[in-house]
């Protein structure tokens, strides 16, 4: 029974991945608004009902596999080591994802990951969903910090700064990848840039951009 369940789960995962990749490829080629769910189903060789069984909405065809990553910051803080600050935890998690060339931080050798990012950037409804998901991730981080510190105001400010630093680094990875740089070349610079970005958060803005 365990083996049979394992096989069924693998087949379900394979089907979901086939639908996902088919949808993203069509969206990248023709635009999100110009592709119907029926066309995706036909290309993936499944029924339209099957598509909706795996993905509740058309937007989910892009977001379902990646939306969990908007909670990475809060997870880093909640699961941080004893004696580790919030900044240290977020920086460590970010650098671990860089080392693994994780698509969630804009580093992956496969063009598919860049396709997903481009589809989102070129589609207003998806950009709005990305913005809302990112805002929720920041609020979740603020809640985790406030729970520990008892100061929701400073927790909200800290969460906003940590989110901004991390998101800016990720966008820089995407920018360089879109310009033709390899993931390895981008990743080689990532630790230095991350140290500078998170040091700015850690040390605050005192003295930043002071005119001579």
Beta carbons of 194 and 95 less than 8 angstroms apart: yes
Whether residue 48 is found in the same domain as residue 94: no
Whether residue 34 is found in the same domain as residue 78: no
Burial of 210 (0-12, 13-18, 19+ CB in 10 A): exposed
Q: Which domain holds residue 25?
A: 2-56
Q: State the CATH number of the domain containing residue 52.
A: 1.10.10.60
Q: How many domains does the chain have?
A: 2
Beta carbons of 89 and 166 less than 8 angstroms apart: no
Within-domain flag for 211: no
Within-domain flag for 177: yes
* Per-residue pLDDT at 2: 46
Q: 100: helix, coil or strand?
A: coil
Q: With 50 as the cut, is the pLDDT of residue 39 above it?
A: yes
* pTM for this prediction: 0.86
138-159 b/e (C-beta count within 10 Å ≥ 16 → b): bebbbebbbeeeeeeeebbebb
Residue 193 makes CB contacts below 8 A (sequence gap 6+) with 169, 172
Within-domain flag for 209: no
Whether residue 52 is found in the same domain as residue 72: no
Q: With 70 as the cut, is the pLDDT of residue 3 above it?
A: no
Whether residue 47 is found in the same domain as residue 81: no
* Per-residue pLDDT at 41: 97
Within-domain flag for 62: no
Within-domain flag for 96: yes
Two tokens, residue 193: 């840039």
Within-domain flag for 61: no
pLDDT in tens, 177-207: 889 999 899 999 999 999 999 999 999 877 7
Within-domain flag for 115: yes
């Amino acid at each position: 029974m365990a083996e049979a369940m394992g096989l069924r789960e693998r087949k379900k995962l394979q089907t979901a991945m086939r639908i996902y990749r088919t949808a993203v490829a069509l969206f990248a080629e023709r635009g999100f608004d110009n592709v119907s769910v029926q066309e995706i189903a036909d290309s993936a060789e499944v029924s339209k009902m099957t598509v909706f069984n795996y993905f509740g909405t058309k937007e989910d065809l892009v977001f379902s596999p990646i939306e969990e990553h908007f909670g990475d910051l809060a997870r880093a803080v909640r699961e941080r080591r004893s004696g580790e600050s919030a900044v240290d935890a977020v920086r460590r998690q970010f650098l671990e994802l860089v080392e693994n060339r994780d698509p969630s931080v804009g580093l992956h050798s496969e063009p598919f990951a860049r396709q997903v990012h481009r589809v989102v950037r070129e589609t207003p409804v998806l950009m709005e969903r990305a913005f809302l998901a990112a805002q929720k991730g920041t609020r979740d981080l603020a809640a985790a910090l406030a729970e520990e510190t008892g100061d929701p105001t400073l927790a909200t400010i800290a969460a906003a700064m940590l989110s901004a630093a991390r998101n800016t680094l990720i966008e820089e990875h995407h920018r360089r990848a879109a310009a033709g740089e390899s993931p390895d070349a981008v990743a080689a610079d990532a630790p230095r840039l991350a140290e500078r970005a998170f040091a700015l958060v850690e040390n605050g803005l005192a003295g930043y951009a002071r005119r001579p």
